[in-house]
């Protein structure tokens, strides 16, 4: 498994970013960048090569769904693996995200194992397809 | 022919399905199918192909279940396959014969039996594939999500009881945490506490905005989001109580956002109380961290929970929120009739905002509307900021303080002052200007707008008036005025007391106000501005004001003054700051807790600030307080006694003089006195206090600094006054904390250490 991939964590809550960062580290991923909202994430995506996006749904300025749509609509970025983090109250949004082309979603709270499993699964698919 | 599109999409679905790997539908595939089905449903709707629409809608539901993992993959795939075949049958029948005679009921029945989905009813889907009625249910069901539940790591424990609302859950959680509370990751917990508290104060700010403009979805979102974030992290940290409360409050706001619940004052109250509880709980985590408690606070949540549950059934009070139109009417910009008319027009299609309509009709200028909007309390958030640990900032400012001192020392070094090297002189003065600029900038780093303090006070007014049966509006001005972050907390308490005073003693009840011909609603104005290196904060009310005669009478009764002769108006109002003076006729819940205005004045003076009061009977009272912008630097007068140098805070200094010989008296029993412009003031010899050999013993040969503290003035005898200087305050360390008469030390420009005098302490020393 390539744990060197550059992962972008998008969440407005710094503590949450740290939580995800810690979980990723448990899976051996430590090439991690962070963004506070969709707008910042998008400019990060455009500026640097990002191999994987883990985004929260609910953020100011630009939500995770809007970010996802923007990524999928951008020719250069459209093939970026995208994992959406969501909470149970917003589960109905999952369907919207799926339609917008999300690769998978993960429900808070989750463990390092679940997170890494999902990442591996998504990456395998990108490699295969 | 006319079914080309449909045929095409359905065949696409069928072939995609055929080429699926091992009949596993992953998320991206499901997304693709959903989009295709959406097209089919739309087309079927347009062409009135009812059977097709029902099947497609049913499949849509199946896919959603697959996505949410609430159905077995294999089972789902089987039904999907049957459904796709059915769709193909239907469309080819239409294509060939223009009609469809087949029976889809068998398929619909198997759909219903295995999944409970009623494909033909719009309960599952509104036709565009969006979930309509069920989102919340699905949200709960997902907790049975096999993918999640299989994980029985410690983090996930105790999470399966989501289904039941309040009671069961809280019981379960209680059992769980009562066993023991484990800190899983201290650094994360610390971050959570800091950020969580920050978010809660954000909630408070935004909820007040929301109350002013309940229809504004942005504000609902701004309140919703922090709860959501807190909940998310709390769930990771196993803080189940916090998670639950945040979750419940978030749900309320979600309902408000979807329009299901209106933003009433009841809702606002519940949210505010809820965030108070959350705050306490998060605060208590701090104590868990430092070991002063073993478990986080477990407040009794039953009352709050029942209020949350019963929110729908509570009767809504009439909204307190001022609409823009109402504000404009109150401001006299438009009349009621014009407003009525404009409201009517604004409702027509396409709906417009009232302000826009008024401007269009030429009844109000955009500026007036903008002012009214501003009055409503709109805020512009500044996004271009970064968050820095305050300790780092403090260190930086400290180090820059040292730099300034070192620079001053270099500048005064004889080998520099005597040099003839022009280049060196130029460079040194360049260094001086850069360091002072650097100091200015670094101090400004820690400056934050007073806005949050004002908003906390607005919240306080709201709570206070509620208990007192008064109606009071709060207006703010200059809330962007900046002040050192370290000062914010310090000034809060004295300001709160002034606010309490205004609400309790100043503003009358609605009845009294109407009788006095005033608007029923009282007004408290908070104003902040900078003035000569200080921040001035004014708190005004439009209440009954103070009666001078009563004040004087009371002071006489209490023996605080001997006569009112010669007291200026200003001095009479200042009487309320005397110890032992309290105008409240009865002790109230609000401000009569035995803390008088004298304590407020002292608290302000401790911060090297000043407070004044002016009043006009029947019209209101204004407290004007003045605080230094920062606690780090003071403006001081450097004086010399013998070989020692001392710094006297400039705020305490009244006068500086060399007394005439005949002004000196030694009164028996009272000690040495000086006659300063007609007032006899005690003389305090600094060299006696600090036991130093002075240069001059006789006051008429030395200098006298008249200082004021605790409402009294005394003359300090010093040898020389060296000059005025801004000094960086250094604490003397814990060991020397309790030394009377000295509040700290500072490194002077010449590199020597000077002690900063504390007049209050000096007075006490001299009276022992």
Please tell me if residue A60 touches chain B, with a CB cutoff of 8 Å: yes
What letter does residue B730 receive in the DSSP assignment?
Answer: B
Q: What is the β-pairing status of strands A82-86 and A104-107?
A: parallel
Name the CA dihedral angle for A52, A54, A57, A58, rounded to a multiple of 10 degrees: -120
Residue in chain B lying closest to A13 (CA): B229
Q: How far is Cα B457 from Cα B343, in angstroms, rounded to an integer? A: 33
Please tell me if residue A102 touches chain B, with a CB cutoff of 8 Å: yes
The phi-psi region of residue B563 (left if phi > 0; otherwise alpha if psi is between -120 and 50; otherwise beta) is beta
B134 neighbourhood in chain A, CB within 8 Å: 92
Let me know whether B134 and B41 are in one domain: yes
Query: Which residues lie across from B665 on neighbouring strands?
Result: B673
Let me know whether B429 and B359 are in one domain: no
SS3 state of residue A26: helix
SS3 state of residue A52: strand
Look at residue B752 and tell me if it is in a domain: yes
Which site among B233, B257, B260 would you substitute to test the A interface, given the most A Cβ atoms closer than 10 Å to its Cβ? Answer: B233
Please tell me if residue A129 touches chain B, with a CB cutoff of 8 Å: no
**Spatial contact of B548 and B617, defined as CB atoms under 8 Å apart:** yes
Look at residue B385 and tell me if it is in a domain: no
Domain-terminating residue out of B424, B445, B466: B445
Are B135 and A111 inside 8 Å of each other by CB?
Answer: no
Closest to B103 in 3D by CA, of B114, B90, B113:
B90
Can you point out the beta strands (E) in B642-758? Answer: 644-649, 653-657, 664-667, 671-676, 679-685, 703-709, 712-718, 720-728, 742-747, 753-757
Helix or strand holding residue B371 (H, E):
helix B366-375
Helix or strand holding residue B573 (H, E):
helix B569-574
Let me know whether B473 and B614 are in one domain: yes
Taking CB atoms and an 8 Å cut-off, how many pairs form between chains A and B?
125
Closest in A18, A92, A102 to B139, CB measured: A92
Let me know whether B214 and B268 are in one domain: yes
Domain-terminating residue out of B569, B593, B628: B628
Mean pLDDT by 10 residues, chain B (768 residues): 77 82 79 88 84 86 83 82 86 81 80 67 39 36 38 39 40 41 73 86 79 78 85 85 86 82 80 86 84 76 78 50 67 75 68 68 69 55 62 85 81 84 90 87 83 85 78 87 82 85 84 86 89 84 86 82 79 81 50 62 81 87 85 83 90 88 83 86 89 88 87 88 82 74 82 86 82
pLDDT attached to residue A10: 94
Let me know whether B203 and B273 are in one domain: yes
Range of the domain at B88: 4-146
Interface confidence, given as ipTM, is 0.86
pLDDT attached to residue A102: 92
Let me know whether B91 and B207 are in one domain: no
What letter does residue B509 receive in the DSSP assignment?
Answer: P
* Domains identified in chain B, total number: 6
Domain at B217, CATH number: 1.20.120.160
Let me know whether B603 and B487 are in one domain: yes
Any idea which residue has 């919207």 for tokens?
Answer: A96
Q: How far is Cα B479 from Cα B683, in angstroms, rounded to an integer? A: 44
Look at residue B561 and tell me if it is in a domain: yes
Angle at which helices B597-606 and B485-501 cross, to 10°: 170
Let me know whether B202 and B93 are in one domain: no
Look at residue B171 and tell me if it is in a domain: no
Q: How many residues does chain B have?
A: 768
Please tell me if residue B130 touches chain A, with a CB cutoff of 8 Å: yes
Render B7-23 in DSSP notation, one character per residue.
HHHHHHHHHHHHT-GGG
Look at residue B117 and tell me if it is in a domain: yes
Q: How far is Cα B652 from Cα B17, in angstroms, rounded to an integer? A: 85
Q: For residue A109, how far is the Cα from the chain centroid?
A: 15
Let me know whether B679 and B665 are in one domain: yes
Please tell me if residue A10 touches chain B, with a CB cutoff of 8 Å: no
Let me know whether B225 and B295 are in one domain: yes
Render B598-663 in DSSP notation, one character per residue.
HHHHHHHHHTT-EEEEEEETTTEEEEEEEEES-SSEEEEEEEEETTEEEEEEGGGEEEEE---GGG
pLDDT attached to residue A88: 67
pLDDT attached to residue B273: 85
Are B38 and A105 inside 8 Å of each other by CB?
Answer: no
Q: How far is Cα B711 from Cα B566, in angstroms, rounded to an integer? A: 17
Look at residue B453 and tell me if it is in a domain: yes
Domain-terminating residue out of B445, B464, B496: B445
Q: For every residue of B275-332, which 3-state class applies, written as one string?
A: HHHHHHHHHHHHHHHCCCCCCCCCCCCHHHHHHHHHHHCCCCCCCCCCCHHHHHHHCC
pLDDT attached to residue B134: 36
Let me know whether B597 and B668 are in one domain: no
Give me the long-range contacts of B589-593 (CB less than 8 A, separation at least 24): B589/B467, B590/B464, B590/B467, B590/B468, B590/B500, B590/B503, B590/B504, B591/B497, B591/B500, B591/B501, B591/B503, B591/B504, B591/B505, B592/B504
Q: How far is Cα B347 from Cα B213, in angstroms, rounded to an integer? A: 18
Look at residue B236 and tell me if it is in a domain: yes
B145 neighbourhood in chain A, CB within 8 Å: 107
Look at residue B227 and tell me if it is in a domain: yes
Q: How far is Cα B436 from Cα B438, in angstroms, rounded to an integer? A: 5
Let me know whether B471 and B586 are in one domain: yes
Encode B578-595: b = buried (16+ Cβ within 10 Å), e = exposed: beebbbeeeeeebbbeee
Q: What share of chain A is helix, strand, coil (3-state, %, to 5)?
A: 50, 15, 35
Q: Which domains does chain A have, with CATH numbers?
A: 7-128 (3.40.50.2300)
pLDDT attached to residue B173: 39
Are A58 and B34 inside 8 Å of each other by CB?
Answer: no
**N-term to C-term CA, chain A:** 17
């Amino acid at each position: 498994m390539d744990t060197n991939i550059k992962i972008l964590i998008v969440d407005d809550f710094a503590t949450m970013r740290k939580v995800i960062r810690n979980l990723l580290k448990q899976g051996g991923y430590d090439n991690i960048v962070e963004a506070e909202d969709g707008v910042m994430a998008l400019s990060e995506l455009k500026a640097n090569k990002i191999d994987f996006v883990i985004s929260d749904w609910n953020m100011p300025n630009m939500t995770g769904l809007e970010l996802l749509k923007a990524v999928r609509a951008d020719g250069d970025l459209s093939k970026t693996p995208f994992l959406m983090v969501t909470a149970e109250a917003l589960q109905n949004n999952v369907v919207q995200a799926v339609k917008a082309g999300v690769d998978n979603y993960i429900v808070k709270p989750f463990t390092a194992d679940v997170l890494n499993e999902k990442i591996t699964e998504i990456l395998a698919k990108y490699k295969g397809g | 022919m006319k079914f080309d599109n449909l045929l095409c999409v359905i065949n696409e679905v069928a072939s995609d399905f055929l080429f699926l790997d091992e009949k596993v539908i992953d998320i991206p595939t499901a997304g693709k199918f959903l989009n295709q089905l959406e097209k089919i449903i739309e087309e079927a709707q347009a062409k009135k192909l009812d059977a097709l629409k029902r099947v497609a809608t049913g499949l849509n539901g199946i896919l959603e279940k697959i996505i949410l993992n609430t159905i077995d993959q294999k089972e789902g795939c089987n039904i999907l396959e049957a459904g796709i075949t059915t769709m193909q049958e239907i469309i080819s029948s239409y294509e060939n014969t223009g009609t469809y005679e087949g029976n889809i009921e068998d398929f619909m029945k198997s759909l219903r039996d295995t999944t409970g989905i009623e494909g033909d009813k719009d309960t599952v889907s509104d036709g565009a594939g969006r979930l309509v009625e069920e989102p919340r249910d699905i949200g709960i069901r997902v907790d049975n999500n096999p993918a999640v539940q299989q994980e029985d790591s410690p983090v996930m424990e105790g999470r399966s009881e989501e289904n039941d609302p309040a009671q069961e859950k809280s019981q379960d959680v209680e059992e769980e945490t009562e066993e023991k509370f484990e800190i899983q990751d201290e650094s994360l917990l610390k971050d959570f506490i800091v950020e969580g508290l920050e978010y809660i104060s954000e909630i408070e700010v935004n909820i007040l905005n929301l109350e002013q403009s309940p229809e504004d979805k942005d504000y609902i979102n701004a309140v919703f989001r922090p709860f959501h974030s807190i909940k998310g992290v709390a769930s990771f940290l196993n803080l189940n109580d916090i998670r639950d409360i945040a979750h419940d409050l978030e749900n309320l706001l979600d309902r408000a956002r979807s329009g299901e619940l209106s933003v009433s004052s009841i809702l606002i109250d519940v949210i505010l109380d809820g965030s108070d509880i959350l705050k306490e709980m998060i605060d208590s985590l701090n104590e868990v961290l430092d070991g002063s408690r073993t478990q986080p606070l477990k407040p009794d949540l039953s009352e709050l929970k029942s209020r949350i549950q019963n929110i729908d059934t509570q009767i809504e009070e009439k909204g307190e929120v001022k609409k823009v139109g109402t504000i404009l009417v109150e401001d006299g910009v438009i009349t009621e009739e014009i407003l009525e008319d404009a409201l009517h027009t604004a409702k027509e299609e396409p709906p417009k905002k009232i302000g826009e309509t008024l401007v269009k009709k030429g009844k109000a200028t955009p500026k007036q509307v903008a002012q009214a909007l501003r009055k409503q309390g709109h805020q512009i958030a500044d996004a271009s900021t970064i968050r820095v640990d305050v300790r780092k900032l403090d260190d930086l400012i400290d180090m820059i303080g040292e730099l300034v001192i070192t620079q001053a020392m270099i500048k005064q070094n004889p080998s520099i002052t005597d040099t003839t090297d022009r280049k060196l002189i130029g460079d040194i003065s360049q260094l001086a200007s850069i360091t002072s600029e650097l100091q200015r900038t670094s101090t400004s780093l820690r400056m934050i707008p007073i806005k949050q303090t004002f908003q906390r006070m607005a919240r306080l007014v709201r709570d206070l008036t509620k208990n007192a049966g008064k109606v009071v509006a709060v207006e703010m001005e200059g809330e962007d005025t900046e002040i050192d972050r370290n000062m914010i907390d310090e000034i809060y308490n004295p300001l709160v007391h002034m606010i309490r005073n205004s609400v309790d003693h100043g503003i009358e009840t609605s009845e009294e106000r109407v009788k006095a011909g005033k608007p029923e609603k009282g007004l408290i104005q908070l104003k902040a501005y900078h003035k000569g290196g200080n921040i001035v904060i004014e708190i005004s009310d439009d209440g009954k004001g103070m009666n001078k005669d009563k004040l004087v009478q009371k002071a006489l009764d209490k023996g605080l003054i001997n006569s009112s002769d010669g007291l200026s108006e200003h001095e009479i109002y200042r009487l309320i700051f005397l110890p032992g003076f309290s105008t409240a006729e009865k002790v109230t819940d609000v401000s009569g807790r035995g803390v008088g205005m004298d304590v407020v004045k002292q608290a302000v003076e401790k911060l090297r600030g000043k407070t004044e009061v002016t009043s006009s009977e029947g019209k209101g009272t204004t407290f004007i307080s003045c605080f230094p912008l920062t606690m780090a630097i003071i403006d001081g007068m450097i004086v010399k006694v013998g070989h020692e140098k001392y710094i006297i805070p400039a705020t305490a200094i009244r006068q500086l003089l060399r007394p005439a010989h005949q002004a000196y008296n030694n009164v028996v029993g009272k000690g040495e006195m000086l006659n300063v412009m007609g007032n006899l003031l005690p003389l305090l010899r600094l060299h006696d206090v600090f036991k130093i050999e002075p240069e001059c013993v006789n006051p008429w040969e030395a200098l006298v600094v008249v200082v004021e503290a605790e409402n009294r003035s005394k003359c300090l005898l010093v040898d020389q006054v060296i000059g005025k200087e801004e000094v960086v305050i250094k604490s003397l360390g814990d060991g020397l904390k309790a030394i009377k008469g000295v509040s700290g030390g500072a490194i002077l420009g010449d590199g020597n250490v000077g002690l900063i005098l504390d007049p209050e302490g000096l007075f006490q020393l001299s009276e022992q």
